Amino acid sequence: MLANNGIIILFSLLIALVASIMPMPLKVDAFRPDWVLIVLLYWSLALPNRVSVLTAWVMGLLLDVLLGSVLGVHAAAMAISVYISAVNFQKIRNFSVWQQSLIVGVIAALYHLLVFWMQRMLTDIVFLPSYLYPVVTAMVIWPWVFLLLRKVRRHFKIS
């Protein structure tokens, strides 16, 4: 994973982890996009042979530790979401950025529902529509993340 400037991939994932635990005002916090999922989706589309299910699972596990949820919940949801994009990378790559952002929205919604269902089985939480606000932000933010990370990938010649 670390060959061919793979350290940059790791670095981008670490920044995403920090961004997803950074303290924010409560109003903004509800709209915080899933940085880790978005960055993982980009790398799994660009380099599916390097970043896929296993990386996603490890990042999900770190997220579990950072967020204090039951170990394995975010890990499983992240692995499933990234599996979908990694298996269909050839199709998704051919879409325009705006169509991709729709797909990212669907995957982010699936991720949130998976996390919700698993938490629901473990504790008796109730569903609030605000749990799906990050899906909207993820869709809006995808084109910019995509362009930025593509630039990073080309600049450092990560392959």
The answer to whether residue 83 forms part of the interface with other proteins (CB under 8 A) is: yes
Q: By CB under 8 A, tell whether 76 contacts other proteins.
A: yes
SS3 (DSSP) at 1: coil
Q: Which residues contact 53 (CB under 8 A, 6 or more apart)?
A: 79, 82, 83, 86
Asked if 124 touches other proteins (CB under 8 A), the answer is: yes
Total binding residues toward other proteins, as defined by CB under 8 A: 51
End-to-end CA distance of the chain: 10
| Sequence-separated (6 or more) residues with CB below 8 Å from residue 95 | 103
Residues 98-117 that bind other proteins (CB under 8 A): 115-116
Interface residue list for other proteins (CB under 8 A):
4, 14, 17-24, 26, 29-30, 32, 48-49, 52-54, 57, 61-62, 65-73, 75-76, 79-80, 83, 86-87, 115-116, 118-119, 122-126, 128, 130-131, 159
